[in-house]
Amino acid sequence: MGNGTRTATLLWTLIGLITASGSQLLVAQTRSTPMFRPGPTGVPPVDRLGQSWTEPASNLAGAVGPNVPLDPTLPPPPPGWDPAVFWSDGQPDELLPPLTTHRNGFFQYLEVSAAWLPQLGGELGITEVKTDLTVALPAPTPRFPLLVSPVFHYYSLAGPTTIDAPPEVFETWLEAMWVPSIGERWRGFLSVAPGVYADFDTYGSDAFRMTGRAIVNYRWRPDQLELYAGLLYLNRNDYLMLPAGGLLWVPNRDTRLEIFFPKPKLARRYRWGQRFEDWVYVGGEFGGNTYWVRRRSGVEDLITLRDWRIYLGTERKWDGGSRLQLELGYIFSRVIEYRGDSKSYPFDDTLMLRLTWRL
């Protein structure tokens, strides 16, 4: 490449960066509409105002943007130069395939999560560390896979000395989930998960619990509009079961609405590129669990931690299901309950900072 070509390339690259930035500030449009659409062979690209690079910009006179006539004394753009490469990692949305949410093969994902609920005003503080591994088995066939997930969650409790609770509890289980499909629209999620929920000091018979779920999914418009309905078998001291279900609505590639109970999530995509997407979202969940522990008196008992959580988060998704999430949340309706004496201790609301990494 000669010096003239290199100079032209650098000059047009600089112009593209400046004009693309200026046009995005001047024209407020959502990212669901491509900034540029390709024209027929030999025709300059057309921006979303419907003007080509050679057309006048009467509605933006004096502004700097890709639809403003450029100085005729400038050298022509180098061959193959495309202004769309400066928008969202160089690829218009319609040219990128959707990200896949799972992997083909044995390994599906390993997820590690850490959350901090500060001890505001001397109330209960919690530090959470969670690890989840999921693998897939063609049992009985790849169309009806069996997902196996060993899970370990650890909780460090810090609170007033008047609260009769151990300094730490844990939960671990092995979930086996079968995902059968009936035709193209019906799908099921059936699982059982034997587990242990206790502190590190005692392991009574009530520390072992069986949980599970049974959910039916009707794919009205697959990956766009889907219905879910079923039950969660929690086997907790406060809730034996909870209804589960709702609506998945994806009106476009920038919006995903998971209107589910007990874990809704409303997400909006704000950037994407080759094999990745960036999202911002609001969500909620039902937190807590029941654990078999030894109290200060030496008596073994079941305690239940319970709270509700809402949070604002941002995440980057990669092709194959990997993701990185950062969330800031608000925790409310917090209580500790004891089965042995039917006591319940409420706590003030607190905040939550959580980081999740799925490989």
Specify if 195 maps to a domain: yes
User: Is residue 74 domain-shared with residue 179, that is, in the same domain?
Assistant: no
Specify if 102 maps to a domain: no
Specify if 101 maps to a domain: no
End position of a domain, from candidates 73, 95, 117: 95
**Between 68 and 341, the higher pLDDT residue:** 341
Specify if 212 maps to a domain: yes
Inter-residue contact 287 to 247 (CB < 8 Å) = no
- Residue-level pLDDT at 53: 36
User: Is residue 69 domain-shared with residue 195, that is, in the same domain?
Assistant: no
Q: Write the Ramachandran bin of 122: left for phi over 0, alpha for psi from -120 to 50, otherwise beta.
A: left
End position of a domain, from candidates 60, 95, 130: 95
User: Is residue 115 domain-shared with residue 216, that is, in the same domain?
Assistant: yes
Do you know the residue count of the chain?
359
Specify if 315 maps to a domain: yes
Residues 53 and 66: their CA atoms lie apart, in Å, by 6
- Residue-level pLDDT at 77: 56
End position of a domain, from candidates 95, 116, 143: 95
Section 16-28 average pLDDT? 43
User: Is residue 315 domain-shared with residue 223, that is, in the same domain?
Assistant: yes
Domain total in the chain: 2
Cis peptide before 145 (omega within 30 of 0): no
User: Is residue 31 domain-shared with residue 144, that is, in the same domain?
Assistant: no
Specify if 289 maps to a domain: yes
Inter-residue contact 330 to 319 (CB < 8 Å) = no
User: Is residue 57 domain-shared with residue 78, that is, in the same domain?
Assistant: yes
80, 92, 95, 10: which is closest to 47 by C-alpha? 92
Is the pLDDT at 254 greater than 80? The verdict is yes
Residue 38 belongs to what domain range? 3-95
- The pLDDT tens digits for 100-148 are 887 888 999 999 999 999 988 778 899 999 999 999 998 888 778 899 9
Specify if 100 maps to a domain: no
User: Is residue 89 domain-shared with residue 165, that is, in the same domain?
Assistant: no
Residues 245 and 216: their CA atoms lie apart, in Å, by 9
Section 224-250 average pLDDT? 95
User: Is residue 120 domain-shared with residue 259, that is, in the same domain?
Assistant: yes
Section 287-307 average pLDDT? 91
User: Is residue 55 domain-shared with residue 166, that is, in the same domain?
Assistant: no
Residues 288 and 8: their CA atoms lie apart, in Å, by 62
pTM: 0.73
Domain of 232, CATH number, reads: 2.40.128
Specify if 67 maps to a domain: yes
User: Is residue 254 domain-shared with residue 146, that is, in the same domain?
Assistant: yes
User: Is residue 57 domain-shared with residue 118, that is, in the same domain?
Assistant: no
User: Is residue 114 domain-shared with residue 251, that is, in the same domain?
Assistant: yes
